[in-house]
């Protein structure tokens, strides 16, 4: 059994604001440690539940935040840029886990809510439905026939995951107080929950299907600033809506995602 873990930082237990997730932040090195620790906890639980192979994608920002010398030696990690492939090595996986996720842009009260880029993207839609990273990444996994079985993070992203993915398991490791604050569980309690949720999700794997997405897939982006839309010339399926919005229609979610 092969399990793929896509890891983001905002929803990691112990992270309560921007200072933990940006390289210039006062608590960034602590954030990297929490990030690596929580991935190790999840990966170890995957092996405990019967996985023979675990791949962890460093999915926050530029993808270079894992502390390599502290990674569980059984885990293969994917770091850095992977071109037009969102989850390099996903093919052939039995399941996807979205670890440390956050709510979509504009979610009132959610911790560090955004969709891919708080600096540039105001909103996104998948086939006309408002969507965040959880929905799009589950859709991309479905391109490969891979079900998303577990989403972890704050209470808002757990609710969002259940609204998007039928049967998905969720693990709430903190409650959001605001965009820049959260009520955190003790470290051991949070890690125990991650372990238990991972094992439960893997044991329930056969009952969770890949996200059903109507094809072709259309992903629309509304940007924060005017004049930030791409040039549509020579790009099949790309349509400029207005000065801030554009969409791409393609055979798969992954192809629609990358412009």
Strands 95-101 and 121-126: unpaired
Name the token pair of 110: 């959610």
What's the pLDDT score for residue 141? 98
What's the pLDDT score for residue 226? 82
What's the pLDDT score for residue 36? 98
pLDDT higher than threshold 90 for residue 228: no
Give the CA angle between residues 245, 246, 251 to the nearest 5°.
Answer: 150
User: Can you tell me the distance from the alpha carbon of 109 to that of 123, in angstroms, rounded to the nearest whole number?
Assistant: 16
Residues recognised as catalytic: 114
Counting residues of the chain whose pLDDT is more than 70, the rounded percentage is: 100
Q: Where are the alpha helices (DSSP H) in the chain?
A: 28-48, 133-143, 155-164, 187-203, 253-257
What value does the mean pLDDT take over residues 217-245? Answer: 92
Contact 13, 34 (CB under 8 A): yes
pLDDT higher than threshold 80 for residue 227: no
What value does the mean pLDDT take over residues 17-39? Answer: 98
What does the DSSP 8-state code read for residue 34? Answer: H
User: Can you tell me the distance from the alpha carbon of 208 to that of 193, in angstroms, rounded to the nearest whole number?
Assistant: 20
pLDDT digits (tens, 9 = 90+) for 65-102: 999 999 999 999 999 999 999 999 999 999 999 999 99
Residue with tokens 């991309």: 140
What does the DSSP 8-state code read for residue 186? Answer: P
- Give this prediction's pTM: 0.97
pLDDT higher than threshold 80 for residue 63: yes
Name the token pair of 11: 């929803």
What's the pLDDT score for residue 58? 98
What's the pLDDT score for residue 174? 98
Contact 76, 55 (CB under 8 A): yes
Domains in the chain, ordered, with CATH? Answer: 2-213 (3.40.50.10780)
Q: How many CA atoms lie within 13 A of 56 on its CB side?
A: 30
Contact 151, 173 (CB under 8 A): no
pLDDT digits (tens, 9 = 90+) for 117-135: 999 999 999 999 999 999 9
Cis omega before residue 62 (within 30°)?
no
Contact 169, 152 (CB under 8 A): no
Q: Closest Cα to residue 253, out of 222, 215, 220, 209? A: 215
User: Can you tell me the distance from the alpha carbon of 178 to that of 123, in angstroms, rounded to the nearest whole number?
Assistant: 19
What does the DSSP 8-state code read for residue 107? Answer: -
pLDDT digits (tens, 9 = 90+) for 30-52: 999 999 999 999 999 999 999 99
pLDDT digits (tens, 9 = 90+) for 188-216: 999 999 999 999 999 999 999 999 999 99
What pLDDT band is residue 234 in, cutting at 50, 70 and 90?
confident
């Amino acid at each position: 059994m092969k399990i793929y873990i896509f890891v983001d930082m905002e929803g990691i237990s112990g992270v309560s604001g921007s200072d933990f997730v940006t390289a210039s932040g006062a608590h960034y090195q602590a954030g990297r440690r929490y990030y690596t620790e929580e991935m190790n906890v999840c990966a170890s639980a995957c092996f405990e539940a019967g996985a023979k192979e675990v791949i962890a994608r460093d999915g926050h920002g530029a993808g270079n935040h894992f502390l390599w010398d502290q990674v569980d030696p059984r885990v293969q990690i994917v770091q850095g840029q992977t071109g037009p492939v969102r989850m390099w090595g996903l093919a052939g996986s039995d399941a996807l886990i979205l670890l440390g996720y956050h709510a979509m842009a504009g979610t009132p009260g959610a911790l560090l809510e955004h969709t891919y880029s708080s600096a540039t993207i105001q909103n996104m839609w998948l086939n006309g439905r408002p969507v965040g990273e959880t929905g799009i990444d589950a859709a991309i996994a479905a391109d490969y026939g891979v079900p998303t079985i577990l989403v972890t993070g704050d209470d808002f992203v757990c609710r969002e995951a259940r609204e998007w993915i039928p049967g998905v398991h969720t693990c709430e490791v903190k409650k959001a107080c605001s965009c820049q604050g959260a009520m955190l569980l003790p470290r051991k309690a949070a890690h125990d929950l991650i372990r238990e949720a991972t094992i439960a999700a893997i044991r329930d794997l056969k009952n969770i299907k890949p996200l059903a997405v109507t094809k072709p897939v259309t992903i629309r982006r509304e940007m924060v600033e005017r004049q930030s839309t791409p040039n549509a010339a020579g790009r099949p399926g790309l349509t400029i809506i207005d000065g801030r919005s554009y969409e791409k229609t393609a055979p798969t979610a992954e192809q629609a995602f990358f412009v």
